[in-house]
Amino acid sequence: MATANSSNILSSTFCLTGIPGYEEFHHWISIPFCLLYLVGIMGNCTILHIVRTDPRLHQPMYYFLVMLSLTDMGMSLPTMISLFRVLWSISREIQFNTCVVQMFFIHTFSFTESSVLLAMALDRYVAICHPLRYATIFTPTLITKIGIAALLRSAFAMIPLLARLAFFPFCHSHILSHSYCLHQDMIRLACADTKFNVIYGLVLITLLWGMDSLGIFVSYVFILHSVLKISSQEGRFKALNTCASHICAVLILYVPMIGLSIVHRFAKHSSPLIHIFMAHIYLLVPPVLNPIIYSVKTRQIRQGILNLLFPLRINSSMM
- 10-residue averages of pLDDT along the chain (319 residues): 42 83 87 92 93 90 94 90 88 89 92 94 92 90 94 94 86 82 85 86 88 93 88 82 88 85 71 80 89 87 84 54
Cα–Cα distance, 170 to 173 (Å, whole number): 7
- Of 46, 83, 255, the C-alpha closest to 176 is 83
Please give the C-alpha separations between residue 35 and each of 38, 80, 151, 183, 307, in angstroms, as whole numbers.
Answer: 5, 12, 28, 27, 24
For position 198, what pLDDT does the model report? 86
pLDDT of 1 reads 40
Contact 176, 186 (CB under 8 A): yes
Look at residues 96, 11, 118, 75 and name the one whose alpha carbon lies nearest to residue 284. Answer: 75
User: In the prediction, which pLDDT does 313 show?
Assistant: 58
Judge contact between 281 and 318, C-beta under 8 A. Answer: no
- Rounded to whole angstroms, the Cα distance separating 319 from 308 reads 17
Which residues share a beta bridge with 235?
none
Distances from the Cα of 110 to the Cαs of 27, 167, 194, 240, 246, in angstroms? 28, 25, 22, 26, 16
Q: Annotate 140-155 with b (16+ C-beta within 10 A) or e (fewer).
A: eeebeebbeebbebbb
Task: Please give the Cα distance from 249 to 133 (Å, whole number).
Answer: 25
> pTM for the complete prediction?
0.88
Count of helix runs (H) and strand runs (E) in the chain? 13, 2
- CA–CA separation, 71 vs 151, rounded Å? 9
Q: Tell me what pLDDT residue 122 has.
A: 94
* H-helix or E-strand spanning residue 95: strand 93-95
**Looking at residue 73, what is its pLDDT?**
92
Phi, psi of 276 (to 5 degrees): -70, -45
Integer-rounded Cα radius of gyration of the chain:
22
